[in-house]
Structure 1
């Protein structure tokens, strides 16, 4: 598949109100709260292989490492080593494959959108075009959850890992979303809970809003380039208005 990534030039100054056309949302722990699903699925897979489960604190550290796009195959052994010593590569591979098989069922049952997120997304989708930009391998789980919470009509397009040559913090997925929405990148705002969301947004010359609903602090999101940081998705309504006020 050939991916067309347009050339971009940086822009300066505050974007005018009429220029904002689209909002790009990260999915996990921004729109939907999925921390528990990933945590439960991994521990079930570890248990199947006779390995100790990770604590929540250990899992948070694992999630933070994944921010640098370090694969589970590479990061997991370091967490298991203090508990059981070295774990052979074949067993780690079985854990990873088991995790992939277990996750979809856990995801559809445990991942959820709080009512405040549902209301915010419904309102924002009536004012702007909306895309989901996720590092998930494909859109199947996202689509199921959107339908479950009756939000499928609030999202215009979904970009996952299979849709672009590289994932966040690369700008490729964001540019693909803008292209599908037929909106210039400078007319988009990227909303996410992690530094790589903010970094990707800045690389694409988009405004960025960080949400502290994941495992990252306000300071870390600011340092990664967030134009504004809010506590939850409901606050994005006011944040978007603030970012696009005319001069």
Structure 2
């Protein structure tokens, strides 16, 4: 039995926008005259929100000075090299064909998330897209989860979350919502297992699809 509603994380789950994030971080570092971070260093620092990423990479630098520099540059290049991750569209189309309600639930700045999904022609699949700055909350705060469920009139017991990080796992655990994790973002399969102990971790959407849409699998009660 499938869930009535699927909530999706965005970066590292549905899309890859790490190139623009890396270039924008480097732009801020150049402006401040400090050493540039490598792509891998930036990717490892992503998670939680851009505010947390900047804090991890800039240490004692004032967030109120680095954030505007990042946002201004990111908005000028955010569609450069962004792409949909493999098998995402196939999964979304299958879920829509089964009348499953879908929404995006991300710590990415909401305006950026909505613009990116529109650019990639993925907005058609989602009833709403909720991100950072849209409310005072972020994942894994239960109030953020409550807000999106109320906005789409969804019942918690009929929902699950699909994401790529321990933040997504913690979000589900906080409200006892099932979570399926994908090793398509900042964490490997082993890293996700070590961080969460979950039995529901998949290498990609193809692997998840084979499990999730199987008629032999009951998903309710999955944690």
Alignment RMSD: 2.7
Residue 130 of structure 2 corresponds to 159
Equivalent residue of 1:108, what SS? coil
Does the C-alpha gap of structure 1 residues 246 and 104 become closer, same or farther in structure 2, counting only changes over 3 Å?
A: closer
User: How many pairs does the alignment contain?
Assistant: 217
CA distance in 2, matches of 1:41, 1:246: 41
For normalisation by structure 1, the TM-score amounts to 0.76
Alignment of 1:124-139 (within 5 A): 124-127=95-98, 128-138=100-110
Question: Contact conserved, 2:51 with 2:67, CA < 8 A, in 1?
Answer: no
Secondary structure, counterpart of 1:47 in structure 2: helix
Indicate if the aligned counterparts of 1:194 and 1:214 stay in contact, CA closer than 8 A: yes
Secondary structure at 1:166's aligned position in 2?
coil
Q: Deviations over 1:58-115 (max 9, x none)?
A: 223422xx5498735533334xxxxxxxx8x46x754432111111222222221135
**What's the offset of the Cα at 1:136?**
1.8
Q: Distance in 2 between matches of 1:163 and 1:182?
A: 18
Relative to 1, partners in 2 of residues 1:73 and 1:212: Cα closer, same or farther, differing over 3 Å? closer
Contact 1:39–1:59 at 8 Å: present in 2 too?
yes
Give 3-state SS (helix, strand or coil) of 1:167's partner. coil
Is the CA contact (8 Å cut-off) linking 1:27 and 1:133 kept in structure 2? yes
* Contiguous gaps of at least 5 residues in structure 2: none
- 3-state secondary structure, aligned to 1:51: coil
Residue among 23, 26, 31 paired with 2:9: 26
Q: For the pair shown, which has the larger CA radius of gyration, 1 or 2?
A: 1
